[in-house]
Amino acid sequence: MAPDRHLARHVAVFSTAHAIGIIAPLLTTPYLARVLGPEGWAPVLLAQGIAALVALVPEFGFDLSGTRDLAMTTDQGRRARIVSEIHAARLLLIPVAAVVILGITHLVPLMDAHPALLRWTFIAAIARGCSPLWIFQGVGAPEGAVLTDALGKLGAALAVFFVVDGPTDGWRVLALQGIGAVIPLLVLGWQAHRRISPLPLSMAGARRGLTRGWAVFSFRGASAAYMQANLLIVGALASPTAVTMFGGAERVIRAGINLLAPITQAVFPRVARAVPAGPEANRRALAEATWMIGGIGLVLSLVSYVAAGPIITGLLGPGYESAIPLLRGLSALPTLIAIGTVLGIHWAVPHGHERYFLRHVVVAGGISLSCAALLIPRFGAWGMVVGATAAESWVAGALVHRFLRHRGGR
Protein backbone atom coordinates (compact mmCIF):
# COMPACT_ATOMS: atom_id res chain seq x y z
CA MET A 1 0.00 0.00 0.00
CA ALA A 2 1.29 3.49 -0.87
CA PRO A 3 2.40 5.62 2.10
CA ASP A 4 -0.37 8.19 1.62
CA ARG A 5 -3.04 5.52 1.43
CA HIS A 6 -1.53 3.82 4.46
CA LEU A 7 -1.68 7.09 6.43
CA ALA A 8 -5.21 7.79 5.21
CA ARG A 9 -6.35 4.35 6.37
CA HIS A 10 -4.83 4.83 9.81
CA VAL A 11 -6.34 8.31 10.12
CA ALA A 12 -9.73 6.87 9.17
CA VAL A 13 -9.44 4.06 11.72
CA PHE A 14 -8.29 6.33 14.54
CA SER A 15 -10.93 8.90 13.64
CA THR A 16 -13.68 6.29 13.72
CA ALA A 17 -12.50 4.91 17.05
CA HIS A 18 -12.12 8.34 18.61
CA ALA A 19 -15.47 9.41 17.22
CA ILE A 20 -16.99 6.50 19.14
CA GLY A 21 -15.00 7.49 22.22
CA ILE A 22 -16.18 11.09 21.96
CA ILE A 23 -19.80 10.35 21.04
CA ALA A 24 -20.19 7.74 23.79
CA PRO A 25 -19.83 10.15 26.75
CA LEU A 26 -21.69 12.88 24.87
CA LEU A 27 -24.62 10.49 24.51
CA THR A 28 -24.78 10.13 28.29
CA THR A 29 -24.12 13.79 29.13
CA PRO A 30 -27.73 15.03 28.67
CA TYR A 31 -29.02 12.01 30.61
CA LEU A 32 -26.58 12.37 33.52
CA ALA A 33 -27.01 16.14 33.71
CA ARG A 34 -30.74 15.63 34.22
CA VAL A 35 -30.82 12.40 36.26
CA LEU A 36 -27.98 13.23 38.65
CA GLY A 37 -28.69 16.97 38.78
CA PRO A 38 -26.01 19.63 39.33
CA GLU A 39 -25.15 18.40 42.85
CA GLY A 40 -25.03 14.70 41.98
CA TRP A 41 -23.11 15.29 38.73
CA ALA A 42 -20.36 17.38 40.36
CA PRO A 43 -18.55 14.45 42.11
CA VAL A 44 -18.84 12.34 38.94
CA LEU A 45 -17.22 15.08 36.87
CA LEU A 46 -14.47 15.40 39.47
CA ALA A 47 -13.93 11.64 39.55
CA GLN A 48 -13.61 11.54 35.77
CA GLY A 49 -11.08 14.36 35.96
CA ILE A 50 -9.12 12.48 38.62
CA ALA A 51 -9.17 9.31 36.48
CA ALA A 52 -7.81 11.19 33.46
CA LEU A 53 -5.03 12.74 35.57
CA VAL A 54 -4.04 9.54 37.40
CA ALA A 55 -4.03 7.55 34.13
CA LEU A 56 -1.04 9.65 33.07
CA VAL A 57 1.10 7.90 35.71
CA PRO A 58 1.04 4.32 34.33
CA GLU A 59 0.70 5.64 30.80
CA PHE A 60 3.97 7.59 31.32
CA GLY A 61 4.08 8.76 27.73
CA PHE A 62 4.56 5.21 26.45
CA ASP A 63 1.73 5.65 23.95
CA LEU A 64 4.08 8.02 22.08
CA SER A 65 7.59 6.97 23.11
CA GLY A 66 6.83 3.24 22.90
CA THR A 67 5.01 3.68 19.60
CA ARG A 68 7.98 5.63 18.25
CA ASP A 69 10.52 3.00 19.31
CA LEU A 70 8.52 0.09 17.88
CA ALA A 71 7.93 1.98 14.64
CA MET A 72 11.66 2.62 14.19
CA THR A 73 12.67 -1.07 14.26
CA THR A 74 11.51 -4.27 12.60
CA ASP A 75 13.70 -6.58 14.70
CA GLN A 76 11.44 -8.85 16.77
CA GLY A 77 14.04 -9.27 19.50
CA ARG A 78 14.36 -5.53 19.89
CA ARG A 79 10.60 -5.12 19.93
CA ALA A 80 10.27 -7.81 22.61
CA ARG A 81 12.78 -5.94 24.79
CA ILE A 82 10.89 -2.65 24.36
CA VAL A 83 7.58 -4.26 25.35
CA SER A 84 9.11 -6.02 28.38
CA GLU A 85 10.78 -2.86 29.64
CA ILE A 86 7.55 -0.89 29.45
CA HIS A 87 5.57 -3.66 31.16
CA ALA A 88 8.11 -3.72 33.99
CA ALA A 89 8.02 0.07 34.31
CA ARG A 90 4.24 0.07 34.59
CA LEU A 91 4.31 -2.42 37.46
CA LEU A 92 6.39 0.10 39.39
CA LEU A 93 4.11 2.98 38.46
CA ILE A 94 0.80 1.48 39.65
CA PRO A 95 1.57 1.99 43.38
CA VAL A 96 2.65 5.55 42.56
CA ALA A 97 -0.75 6.10 40.94
CA ALA A 98 -2.45 4.92 44.14
CA VAL A 99 -0.52 7.49 46.18
CA VAL A 100 -1.40 10.21 43.66
CA ILE A 101 -5.12 9.47 43.82
CA LEU A 102 -5.09 9.56 47.62
CA GLY A 103 -3.28 12.88 47.58
CA ILE A 104 -5.71 14.41 45.11
CA THR A 105 -8.66 13.21 47.17
CA HIS A 106 -7.43 15.05 50.25
CA LEU A 107 -7.14 18.26 48.23
CA VAL A 108 -10.72 18.01 46.92
CA PRO A 109 -13.01 17.71 49.97
CA LEU A 110 -16.11 16.90 47.91
CA MET A 111 -14.65 13.46 47.08
CA ASP A 112 -14.24 12.29 50.70
CA ALA A 113 -17.95 11.43 50.90
CA HIS A 114 -17.82 9.06 47.92
CA PRO A 115 -15.51 6.07 48.68
CA ALA A 116 -17.15 3.73 46.12
CA LEU A 117 -16.70 6.38 43.46
CA LEU A 118 -13.00 6.67 44.32
CA ARG A 119 -12.40 2.92 44.14
CA TRP A 120 -13.81 2.68 40.65
CA THR A 121 -11.99 5.85 39.66
CA PHE A 122 -8.69 4.14 40.50
CA ILE A 123 -9.62 0.99 38.55
CA ALA A 124 -10.66 3.03 35.51
CA ALA A 125 -7.46 5.11 35.64
CA ILE A 126 -5.12 2.09 35.87
CA ALA A 127 -6.91 0.15 33.14
CA ARG A 128 -6.86 3.14 30.80
CA GLY A 129 -3.27 4.05 31.61
CA CYS A 130 -2.00 0.49 31.05
CA SER A 131 -3.68 0.00 27.68
CA PRO A 132 -1.46 -1.99 25.25
CA LEU A 133 -2.91 -0.13 22.28
CA TRP A 134 0.49 1.49 21.66
CA ILE A 135 1.96 -1.91 20.69
CA PHE A 136 -0.43 -2.26 17.77
CA GLN A 137 0.22 1.33 16.71
CA GLY A 138 3.96 0.79 16.80
CA VAL A 139 3.91 -2.32 14.63
CA GLY A 140 1.59 -0.69 12.11
CA ALA A 141 -1.52 -2.80 12.79
CA PRO A 142 -3.81 -0.56 14.87
CA GLU A 143 -7.15 -1.16 13.16
CA GLY A 144 -8.69 -3.95 15.21
CA ALA A 145 -7.10 -2.77 18.45
CA VAL A 146 -8.42 0.79 18.35
CA LEU A 147 -11.90 -0.44 17.48
CA THR A 148 -11.83 -2.92 20.39
CA ASP A 149 -10.83 -0.11 22.73
CA ALA A 150 -13.55 2.17 21.35
CA LEU A 151 -16.24 -0.50 21.70
CA GLY A 152 -15.35 -0.84 25.38
CA LYS A 153 -16.06 2.88 25.85
CA LEU A 154 -19.28 2.67 23.85
CA GLY A 155 -20.54 -0.32 25.82
CA ALA A 156 -19.84 1.45 29.11
CA ALA A 157 -21.68 4.55 27.91
CA LEU A 158 -24.75 2.69 26.70
CA ALA A 159 -24.99 0.75 29.97
CA VAL A 160 -25.38 4.06 31.84
CA PHE A 161 -28.95 4.33 30.57
CA PHE A 162 -29.83 1.02 32.22
CA VAL A 163 -28.09 1.19 35.61
CA VAL A 164 -27.99 4.90 36.56
CA ASP A 165 -31.40 5.96 37.82
CA GLY A 166 -30.94 8.72 40.38
CA PRO A 167 -28.62 11.21 42.13
CA THR A 168 -27.03 8.48 44.32
CA ASP A 169 -25.94 6.33 41.38
CA GLY A 170 -22.98 8.43 40.31
CA TRP A 171 -20.46 5.75 41.37
CA ARG A 172 -21.98 3.41 38.79
CA VAL A 173 -20.83 5.72 35.98
CA LEU A 174 -17.19 5.19 37.01
CA ALA A 175 -17.80 1.48 37.60
CA LEU A 176 -19.02 1.08 34.04
CA GLN A 177 -16.10 3.09 32.67
CA GLY A 178 -13.70 0.93 34.67
CA ILE A 179 -15.22 -2.28 33.32
CA GLY A 180 -15.25 -0.79 29.83
CA ALA A 181 -11.50 -0.22 30.13
CA VAL A 182 -10.57 -3.51 31.83
CA ILE A 183 -12.16 -5.76 29.20
CA PRO A 184 -10.25 -4.21 26.22
CA LEU A 185 -7.09 -4.26 28.38
CA LEU A 186 -7.38 -8.03 28.83
CA VAL A 187 -8.36 -8.74 25.22
CA LEU A 188 -5.67 -6.55 23.67
CA GLY A 189 -3.07 -7.72 26.17
CA TRP A 190 -3.65 -11.31 25.09
CA GLN A 191 -3.50 -10.40 21.40
CA ALA A 192 -0.35 -8.32 21.90
CA HIS A 193 1.33 -11.23 23.71
CA ARG A 194 0.60 -13.47 20.75
CA ARG A 195 2.12 -10.90 18.38
CA ILE A 196 5.20 -10.03 20.47
CA SER A 197 6.22 -12.39 23.28
CA PRO A 198 7.84 -10.17 25.93
CA LEU A 199 11.04 -11.14 27.71
CA PRO A 200 11.16 -11.77 31.48
CA LEU A 201 10.59 -8.60 33.49
CA SER A 202 13.47 -7.08 35.45
CA MET A 203 14.28 -4.02 37.52
CA ALA A 204 16.96 -3.00 35.02
CA GLY A 205 14.40 -3.25 32.23
CA ALA A 206 11.96 -1.14 34.25
CA ARG A 207 14.61 1.58 34.63
CA ARG A 208 15.24 1.57 30.89
CA GLY A 209 11.50 1.78 30.25
CA LEU A 210 11.14 4.75 32.59
CA THR A 211 14.05 6.46 30.87
CA ARG A 212 12.39 5.83 27.50
CA GLY A 213 9.13 7.52 28.46
CA TRP A 214 10.48 10.24 30.74
CA ALA A 215 10.61 13.06 28.18
CA VAL A 216 7.00 12.67 27.02
CA PHE A 217 5.77 12.10 30.59
CA SER A 218 7.49 15.30 31.70
CA PHE A 219 5.63 17.27 29.05
CA ARG A 220 2.32 15.68 29.91
CA GLY A 221 2.82 15.88 33.65
CA ALA A 222 3.63 19.57 33.47
CA SER A 223 0.80 20.31 31.04
CA ALA A 224 -1.64 18.44 33.31
CA ALA A 225 -1.48 21.46 35.64
CA TYR A 226 -3.45 23.45 33.08
CA MET A 227 -5.33 20.70 31.25
CA GLN A 228 -6.58 17.63 33.15
CA ALA A 229 -6.29 19.34 36.55
CA ASN A 230 -8.48 22.34 35.73
CA LEU A 231 -11.70 20.88 37.08
CA LEU A 232 -9.97 19.55 40.19
CA ILE A 233 -8.61 23.01 40.95
CA VAL A 234 -12.11 24.46 40.62
CA GLY A 235 -13.36 21.70 42.94
CA ALA A 236 -10.74 22.59 45.55
CA LEU A 237 -11.36 26.35 45.45
CA ALA A 238 -14.99 26.88 44.43
CA SER A 239 -18.52 25.62 45.07
CA PRO A 240 -20.07 22.40 43.68
CA THR A 241 -22.21 24.59 41.39
CA ALA A 242 -19.08 26.15 39.88
CA VAL A 243 -17.68 22.64 39.42
CA THR A 244 -20.76 21.55 37.49
CA MET A 245 -20.94 24.64 35.27
CA PHE A 246 -17.24 24.67 34.45
CA GLY A 247 -17.24 20.87 34.09
CA GLY A 248 -20.12 20.97 31.63
CA ALA A 249 -18.44 23.62 29.47
CA GLU A 250 -15.05 21.93 29.68
CA ARG A 251 -16.54 18.55 28.77
CA VAL A 252 -17.86 20.05 25.54
CA ILE A 253 -14.57 21.76 24.65
CA ARG A 254 -12.52 18.68 25.56
CA ALA A 255 -14.75 16.52 23.38
CA GLY A 256 -13.81 18.79 20.50
CA ILE A 257 -10.12 18.78 21.42
CA ASN A 258 -10.18 14.99 21.53
CA LEU A 259 -10.87 15.06 17.80
CA LEU A 260 -7.20 16.05 17.42
CA ALA A 261 -6.02 12.84 19.08
CA PRO A 262 -6.66 10.39 16.20
CA ILE A 263 -4.77 12.63 13.79
CA THR A 264 -1.88 12.95 16.23
CA GLN A 265 -1.73 9.19 16.83
CA ALA A 266 -1.87 8.37 13.13
CA VAL A 267 0.67 10.99 12.07
CA PHE A 268 3.20 10.60 14.90
CA PRO A 269 4.77 7.29 13.72
CA ARG A 270 5.10 8.81 10.25
CA VAL A 271 6.86 11.88 11.67
CA ALA A 272 9.15 9.64 13.74
CA ARG A 273 10.17 7.68 10.66
CA ALA A 274 10.65 10.90 8.65
CA VAL A 275 13.25 12.40 11.03
CA PRO A 276 16.11 10.05 10.04
CA ALA A 277 14.91 10.05 6.42
CA GLY A 278 16.09 13.62 5.84
CA PRO A 279 14.83 17.24 5.81
CA GLU A 280 12.51 16.88 2.82
CA ALA A 281 10.66 13.87 4.22
CA ASN A 282 10.41 15.60 7.58
CA ARG A 283 9.07 18.79 5.97
CA ARG A 284 6.31 16.87 4.20
CA ALA A 285 5.31 15.02 7.37
CA LEU A 286 5.19 18.24 9.40
CA ALA A 287 3.13 19.97 6.69
CA GLU A 288 0.59 17.13 6.79
CA ALA A 289 0.34 17.43 10.56
CA THR A 290 -0.07 21.21 10.35
CA TRP A 291 -2.90 21.16 7.81
CA MET A 292 -4.82 18.36 9.48
CA ILE A 293 -4.39 19.21 13.17
CA GLY A 294 -4.31 23.01 12.77
CA GLY A 295 -7.32 23.11 10.48
CA ILE A 296 -9.46 21.01 12.78
CA GLY A 297 -8.44 23.09 15.80
CA LEU A 298 -9.49 26.33 14.11
CA VAL A 299 -12.87 24.96 13.05
CA LEU A 300 -13.54 23.65 16.56
CA SER A 301 -12.78 27.05 18.09
CA LEU A 302 -15.16 28.84 15.73
CA VAL A 303 -18.00 26.35 16.25
CA SER A 304 -17.69 26.33 20.04
CA TYR A 305 -17.83 30.13 20.18
CA VAL A 306 -20.64 30.73 17.68
CA ALA A 307 -22.85 27.82 18.74
CA ALA A 308 -22.18 27.82 22.50
CA GLY A 309 -25.82 28.48 23.38
CA PRO A 310 -27.43 25.68 21.35
CA ILE A 311 -24.65 23.25 22.33
CA ILE A 312 -25.06 23.75 26.09
CA THR A 313 -28.86 23.90 25.93
CA GLY A 314 -29.06 20.77 23.81
CA LEU A 315 -26.59 18.74 25.84
CA LEU A 316 -27.20 19.81 29.43
CA GLY A 317 -30.73 21.17 29.37
CA PRO A 318 -32.32 23.77 31.68
CA GLY A 319 -30.42 24.89 34.75
CA TYR A 320 -27.02 25.01 33.07
CA GLU A 321 -27.27 28.38 31.32
CA SER A 322 -24.26 29.68 33.26
CA ALA A 323 -22.08 27.23 31.31
CA ILE A 324 -22.75 29.05 27.99
CA PRO A 325 -20.41 32.04 28.54
CA LEU A 326 -17.83 29.67 30.05
CA LEU A 327 -17.83 27.63 26.84
CA ARG A 328 -17.29 30.79 24.80
CA GLY A 329 -14.45 31.71 27.13
CA LEU A 330 -12.79 28.33 26.51
CA SER A 331 -13.32 28.39 22.75
CA ALA A 332 -9.73 29.45 21.90
CA LEU A 333 -8.31 26.26 23.43
CA PRO A 334 -8.68 23.93 20.39
CA THR A 335 -6.67 26.27 18.17
CA LEU A 336 -4.01 26.91 20.81
CA ILE A 337 -3.67 23.21 21.61
CA ALA A 338 -3.44 22.35 17.90
CA ILE A 339 -0.49 24.76 17.58
CA GLY A 340 1.15 23.25 20.65
CA THR A 341 0.63 19.71 19.37
CA VAL A 342 2.12 20.33 15.93
CA LEU A 343 5.09 22.43 17.02
CA GLY A 344 5.61 20.61 20.33
CA ILE A 345 5.10 16.90 19.80
CA HIS A 346 5.74 16.78 16.06
CA TRP A 347 8.56 19.32 15.76
CA ALA A 348 10.22 20.28 19.06
CA VAL A 349 10.56 16.78 20.52
CA PRO A 350 11.95 15.01 17.41
CA HIS A 351 14.36 17.88 16.68
CA GLY A 352 16.07 18.28 20.02
CA HIS A 353 14.08 21.14 21.55
CA GLU A 354 12.67 19.07 24.43
CA ARG A 355 14.15 21.22 27.19
CA TYR A 356 12.83 24.42 25.65
CA PHE A 357 9.38 22.85 25.25
CA LEU A 358 9.36 21.47 28.79
CA ARG A 359 10.57 24.74 30.29
CA HIS A 360 7.68 26.69 28.79
CA VAL A 361 5.16 23.98 29.66
CA VAL A 362 6.28 24.26 33.29
CA VAL A 363 5.96 28.05 33.12
CA ALA A 364 2.47 27.64 31.65
CA GLY A 365 1.50 25.37 34.53
CA GLY A 366 2.63 28.07 36.94
CA ILE A 367 0.61 30.69 35.07
CA SER A 368 -2.51 28.53 35.22
CA LEU A 369 -2.16 27.76 38.92
CA SER A 370 -1.41 31.40 39.78
CA CYS A 371 -4.47 32.63 37.89
CA ALA A 372 -6.60 29.98 39.57
CA ALA A 373 -5.39 30.80 43.07
CA LEU A 374 -5.87 34.53 42.58
CA LEU A 375 -9.07 34.62 40.54
CA ILE A 376 -11.24 31.59 41.43
CA PRO A 377 -12.01 32.73 45.01
CA ARG A 378 -13.28 36.04 43.61
CA PHE A 379 -14.64 35.19 40.15
CA GLY A 380 -15.44 31.48 40.47
CA ALA A 381 -15.03 29.29 37.39
CA TRP A 382 -14.01 32.28 35.27
CA GLY A 383 -10.68 32.29 37.07
CA MET A 384 -9.94 28.85 35.62
CA VAL A 385 -11.06 29.95 32.15
CA VAL A 386 -8.51 32.77 32.27
CA GLY A 387 -5.82 30.47 33.66
CA ALA A 388 -6.30 27.72 31.07
CA THR A 389 -6.39 30.14 28.14
CA ALA A 390 -3.35 32.09 29.37
CA ALA A 391 -1.36 28.87 29.84
CA GLU A 392 -2.11 27.49 26.39
CA SER A 393 -1.39 30.89 24.82
CA TRP A 394 2.02 30.96 26.49
CA VAL A 395 2.99 27.51 25.19
CA ALA A 396 1.72 28.18 21.66
CA GLY A 397 3.45 31.56 21.50
CA ALA A 398 6.76 30.18 22.78
CA LEU A 399 6.74 27.34 20.23
CA VAL A 400 5.88 29.64 17.34
CA HIS A 401 8.76 31.92 18.37
CA ARG A 402 11.19 28.98 18.53
CA PHE A 403 10.02 27.56 15.22
CA LEU A 404 10.38 30.86 13.37
CA ARG A 405 13.84 31.40 14.83
CA HIS A 406 15.13 27.98 13.83
CA ARG A 407 13.13 27.23 10.70
CA GLY A 408 11.56 30.41 9.40
CA GLY A 409 14.62 31.54 7.47
CA ARG A 410 15.28 28.17 5.81
Q: What is the pLDDT of residues 58-75, one digit of tens each?
A: 999 888 888 888 888 888
How far apart are alpha carbons 304 and 300 in whole angstroms?
A: 6
- pTM as predicted: 0.74
So what's the pLDDT on residue 210?
92
How far apart are alpha carbons 253 and 297 in whole angstroms?
A: 11
So what's the pLDDT on residue 10?
59
Percent of the chain with pLDDT over 70: 88
So what's the pLDDT on residue 150?
85
How far apart are alpha carbons 218 and 7 in whole angstroms?
A: 28
| Residue ranges of the chain with per-residue pLDDT less than 70 | 1-19, 21-22, 225-227, 262, 265-282, 285, 407-410
C-beta neighbour count of 117 within 10 angstroms: 20
So what's the pLDDT on residue 279?
65
Q: Which residues contact 43 (CB under 8 A, 6 or more apart)?
A: 110, 111, 113, 114, 117, 170
C-beta neighbour count of 322 within 10 angstroms: 18
How far apart are alpha carbons 122 and 48 in whole angstroms?
A: 10
Q: Which residues contact 197 (CB under 8 A, 6 or more apart)?
A: 80
So what's the pLDDT on residue 1?
44
| Residues composing the chain | 410
Of 209, 211, 219, which is closest to residue 355 (Cα–Cα)? Answer: 219
Q: Which residues contact 32 (CB under 8 A, 6 or more apart)?
A: 41, 44, 160, 164, 173
How far apart are alpha carbons 332 and 329 in whole angstroms?
A: 7
